[in-house]
Amino acid sequence: MIAVLTGDIVGSTHLDKSKWLPALKSALINWGQESVDWEVYRGDEFQLRLITAEDALTAAFRIKAKLKALAETEVRIAIGIGAMEGSKEQSNKETTALTESNGPAFILSGRKLDDIKNKRIHLAVATDNEAWDREWNLLLQWVLLSADNWSAGSAEIVDLALSNPTLSQTEMATRLNVAQSAVSQRIKRSGFDLLQQTLELFKEKIKMLCSS
């Protein structure tokens, strides 16, 4: 099983592309090679392929945090989880260009993005298990109550914490040149503890889903 994230920039026609595009690419580059693992196309749309499906939700929130922190921009992401091409499983890093790839994960991701555009939802997941999807998409809406309202400062903390999970709050404060109390406040306002627990649960449940 792999994960495919298909997304776009919310309200891009009214935004400065010179701000959000570098922020988007700086997030995507953490997950592989351009044109092979990810690409930006049609002006404001992007796609990311992850061979390890368990990383999908973490990647989505890291992209969201980076865009809010650097460009104060909202992003919409649909996660599709399934086989790469037909029933073929990918045990090694795929070298086929992203534009030449297909399969259930790509189809599920694209369809789900169209669905959440109409519903004005910023993040959702799609698999071939409707009951699983229904439960997870409901849970994600609760997490998004905080995440959709991150300030640039809160998003910056989330991005730093997700990118460097072993950093202490004191070390974060040093990197950001702020007081440790400010880091603590931003973490609390961002709802990071709930997000972190959700990401860990997602990894556990995806492993179970993929092995079933």
Cβ atoms within 10 Å of 98's Cβ, excluding its own: 20
- 123 is written with which tokens? 């993040």
Q: With 60 as the cut, is the pLDDT of residue 44 above it?
A: yes
Residue closest to 50 by CA, chosen among 39, 38, 65, 34: 38
Q: Please, are residues 34 and 27 in contact by the beta-carbon 8 Å criterion? A: no
Q: Residue 13 and residue 18: Cα distance in Å, rounded?
A: 12
Domains identified in the chain, total number: 1
**What is the span of the domain harbouring residue 70?**
2-211
Q: Mention every residue, 6+ apart, whose C-beta is less than 8 A from residue 40.
A: 21, 24, 25, 28, 46
- Name the helix (H) or strand (E) containing 57: helix 56-71
What is the reported pLDDT for 101? Answer: 72
166-195 pLDDT, tens digit each: 999 999 999 999 999 999 999 999 999 999
Phi, psi of 190 (to 5 degrees): -75, -15
Q: Model confidence at 32, in pLDDT bands (50, 70, 90)?
A: very high
What is the reported pLDDT for 84? Answer: 67
What is the reported pLDDT for 96? Answer: 59
Q: Please, are residues 161 and 183 in contact by the beta-carbon 8 Å criterion? A: no
76-115 pLDDT, tens digit each: 999 999 986 644 444 444 455 676 677 899 999 999 999 9
| CATH, residue 116 | 3.30.70
pTM value > 0.85: yes
| One-letter amino acid for residue 137 of the chain | N
Q: Residue 146 and residue 36: Cα distance in Å, rounded?
A: 33
